[in-house]
Structure 1
Amino acid sequence: MLTRIAFRLLGAGALVGALLTLGQPSPARAAVPDTVPLKITNNSGRGEPVYVYNLGTQLSSGRQGWADADGGFHAWPPGGNPPTPAPDASIAGPAAGQSTTIRMPRFSGRIYFSYGRKLDFRLTTGGLVQPAVQNPSDPNRSILFNWSEYTLNDSGLWLNSTQVDMFSAPYAVGVQRADGATVSTGHLKPGGYTGFFDALRGQPGGWANLIQTGSDGTVLRALSPLYGVETGALPAGVMDDYVNRVWQKYATTTLTVTPFADRPGTKYYGRVSGGVMNFTDAAGAVVTSFQKPDASSVFGCHRLLDAPNDAVRGPISRTLCAGFNRSTLLANPDQPDTTTAGFYQDAVTNHYARKIHAQMADGKAYAFAFDDVGHQESLVHDGSPRQAYLTLDPLS
């Protein structure tokens, strides 16, 4: 089963994204090569140079580092305190209308791309500090950039587009499968980029404050609502009304969670008592409990909605997280709710995620950490990939 977990980079001190974790291997297939070609196509229409970075954890050794254009691994040197500049790991990207092919090694990592300027990466004694543009002093704040996440291992390739941390320079991902068929996801609708920012500006309640612009007023990105709450751009109580109504409802009603689509007989039953939502199994034993979550816990799927990679609390928590972000918990006491027509219908909801999904050509996105609940994620996968694709799309 494919899940996503929020993680903190060593030494970074801030939630910076989500990566893939993998469950049981797929059935036997043709051996997955040590590297897979990634064709990067620049359809942005922009004239600036593009810089590409392939950063991650080498799965065979657990070491952090970067890959060169041929997929060769380079471990990061020791860092310092304060952080020291990382080696220049940039790869020249394609010019407008052109393509460049690099090779992806067996990493759990990210493909970064930036327009016009190279990104500034630093190293601490604990590892790599990646860009954290919610920090006003981050040197990358004024750069237009984005990233994709991937894992390549014995079970194949998982490659996604993500908006978990921010919505910025648009792109799509794809994979050519072993049978030659190609699948892709992550493209916006025509006008979807500006449409998203226009919609966010029109959403009352502080949501427009998520937008960051350059010194010339050019839009660079919108921060995720988690960072909006952490930086004060969004009110800390932005989700309180909905959470309070959920807690009130399930003081007298049972919330049934069936976290595994392939195990419909595994169910947990939630009731609020004494301000705590307790979940019991079929035998009536309490298996886990949740304090009433705040907006940070909801948007980040962490803290009071922590989701360990286990068999009980994690699956229940990720279901709750999806229900809170999509505002389906009041409308449906059987979760997860996978009926997309019912998502984001309450006035109190994750409007950032709502507006992103509304602008996606196929409706799929990773707008919060567990947006894969109900298969709403923008992810491609194949057990024997021939080639992967990253397409830089227009900012229009």
Structure 2
Amino acid sequence: MRTRTKWLSALAAVAATASTAIAVLPAQAVGPDLLPLTITNNSGRSEAVHLYVLGTDIRSGRLGYVNQAGSFTPWSPGGNPPTPAPDVSIDGPGQGGTTTVQVPRFISGRVYMSFGEKLKFFLTPDGLVQPAPWAGSDPNSGILFDWSEFTYNDAGLWLNSSQVDMFAVPHAVSVTGAGGETKKTGELKSGGRDAVISGIKGQAGWDGSVVTRSDGTVLRVLAPGKAADVGKFDANYLDPYISEAWNAYTGKTLTVQPFGDRPDVKYTGRTSGDTMNFTDGSGKQVASFVKPSTSNVWGCDGALGAPNDQVVGPIARTLCAALHRSTLGRLDVQPGGGAADFYQGAITNHYSRLVHQNMVDGRAYGFAFDDVQAQESLVHDGDPRSAGITLTAFGGSAPAAAVVGAAVFEAPNRNFVLN
């Protein structure tokens, strides 16, 4: 049975920044109460597009949906077993067209886009069951769809595409601020979707991650953690590399400098047995991590769980990013290196490598903490006027992706936590 999804108010780092700002300064709303988000269809596909704007009212904590005019409605209680949610889809644009929806302030959530079929959502007494297409029993597993994540509040809009769970529908995100400047990211190179798919198929042991429908349509490439969860990928794939990287610090010191704007904050780590212990500048032990499993690395959880604090969490996210990028054990100051240094190991996250490699600007959310060293496909504006999601070509070239009155979403991947 699928688990319920909780919608959190924002990415931890964003939330912390916003709350700090509000505590110091009087709250001052910027941007319109209803932010126009324009979805542009340059996909080259003929199927009908269905849109959903789902999320949490940050003020009340209630889960609900937004209609095209920007009205938020809380979900009615569901049942156990889960009962079908009402159809709250918004008609999306045809090929070459646009659809604009209004996003109300104080919402954090997702914008889903499906081709052909509408998505099936379900309600429990205390939450919304969202699609989990990596599970074959999920009623959405045969549908071509994807989502972007956003938060819109008095600190502005955050909007991102996400490949944390899967790589499916190519799309770019954008936001336009009060000064007229438009920021855009998440756009695949021409032929990039096919390149990711063929790259994964050509990587020994990874081809099971590619999910193809009976009509030949490649629906998605599963992230390695999701593929492993359903038996489509080696559940212990990273274990040899994790042991090698962890053991490297029995004989040398790892330095973690988790804050780019505070280089004076440093922690040093050494491994004893299976435990890596970290001390601060005074020599006081501040954190300990047991050697993580492959699953812990894929999920950045368990032994690498990152609490929302200023010490353990920042060290954990740094370690997790370094293990995904196969730089731990090789680069002894972390975060370390740049994009050219990532994914160089034979055992590495080839999924994230290929997705980043095929992005126009190299940015993507290939795993949960891909924002370490700002590698994520996120746009933010503190005073937005509009935002956009552009569905781009599945193969080869497509018409230039116009940023049409850009509808704004702010959505870091970790807005959502599966329990």
Cross-structure match for 2:16: 23
- Shift of residue 16, structure 1, vs aligned partner: 10
What corresponds to 1:235 in structure 2? 234
Q: What is the one-letter code of the residue matched to 1:134? A: W
How do 1:104-253 and structure 2 match up within 5 A? 104-105=103-104, 106-204=106-204, 206-253=205-252
> 2:312 — aligned with what?
313
* Residue of structure 2 equivalent to 1:352: 351
What count of residue pairs does the alignment treat as equivalent?
386
Superposed CA offset, 1:224-270 (max 9, x none): 11112212211122001111111221011111101111111111111
Shift of residue 178 of structure 1? 1.3
Shift in CA distance, 392/15, structure 1 to aligned 2, threshold 3 Å: same
Q: Distance in 2 between matches of 1:269 and 1:255?
A: 6
In 1, Cα distance between equivalents of 2:128 and 2:97: 31
Q: Deviations over 1:183-237 (max 9, x none)?
A: 1001100110101100000001x21111111122221001111112212211122
Distance between the aligned counterparts of 1:317 and 1:181, measured in 2?
Answer: 35
The runs of 5 or more residues in structure 2 that have no matched partner are 396-419
Contact (CA 8 Å) 2:331, 2:337: kept in 1 or not? no
Structure-2 change in CA distance of 1:207 and 1:273 (3 Å): same
- CA 1:15 to 1:337, structure 2 compared with 1: closer, same or farther past 3 Å? farther
CA contact (8 A) 2:167 2:221 kept: yes
Range that drifts further, 136-145 or 278-287: 278-287
Q: Report the AA paired with residue 194 of structure 2.
A: T
Distance 1:72 1:38 in 2: 14
Normalising by structure 2, we get a TM-score of 0.89
Give the aligned CA root-mean-square deviation in angstroms.
1.9
Q: Deviation per CA, 1:355-376, whole angstroms, max 9, x where unpaired?
A: 1001001000000000000000
Question: What does residue 101 of structure 2 align with?
Answer: 102
SS of alignment partner, residue 389 of structure 1:
strand
- 1:80 and 2:60 are equivalent in the alignment: no
Whether the 8 Å CA contact 2:57–2:107 is kept in 1: the answer is: yes
Secondary structure, in 3 states, of the residue corresponding to 1:323?
helix
Alignment partners' CA distance in 1, 2:57 and 2:82:
22
Unaligned 5+ segments in structure 1 are 1-10
Paired residue secondary structure (1:250): helix
CA contact (8 A) 2:39 2:388 kept: yes
The 3-state SS of whatever aligns with 1:256 is: strand
Identity %: 53
Judged with a 3 Å threshold, the aligned counterparts in structure 2 of structure 1 residues 24 and 74 are, in CA distance, closer, same or farther, namely same
Larger deviation, residues 349-358 vs 261-270: 261-270
Which residue identity is paired with 1:257?
V
CA change 1:32–1:17 in 2 (3 A) is: closer
Per-residue CA shift, 1:53-88, capped at 9, x if unaligned?
000001121100000001101100001110001111
CA distance in 2, matches of 1:141, 1:282: 50
SS at match of 1:46: coil
Relative to structure 1, the CA distance from residue 14 to residue 58 in structure 2 (aligned partners, 3 Å threshold; closer, same or farther) is closer
Q: After TM superposition, where is structure 1 displaced by more than 4 Å over at least 4 residues in a row?
A: 13-19, 26-30
Aligned mates of 1:123, 1:274 — CA distance in 2: 46
User: Take 1:45 and 1:127, find their aligned partners in 2: how far apart are those partners?
Assistant: 36
- Cross-structure match for 2:297: 298
The residue correspondences of 1:375-390 to structure 2 (distance < 5 A) are: 375-390=374-389
Letter in 2 for 1:294: S
1:320-331 correspondence to structure 2 within 5 Å: 320-331=319-330
Q: After the TM superposition, which of the residue ranges 76-85 and 278-287 deviates more from structure 2?
A: 278-287
Distance 1:189 1:135 in 2: 29
Structure 1 pair 378–18 and aligned structure 2 pair: CA distance change class (3 A)? farther
CA distance in 2: counterparts of 1:302 and 1:129, whole angstroms: 21
Distance 1:286 1:217 in 2: 55
| Distance in 2 separating the partners of 1:376 and 1:369 | 11
Task: In structure 1, give the amino acid aligned to 2:336.
Answer: D
Q: What are the superposed Cα offsets for residues 111-138 of structure 1, whole Å, 9 maximum, x if unpaired? A: 0010001000001122000000121110
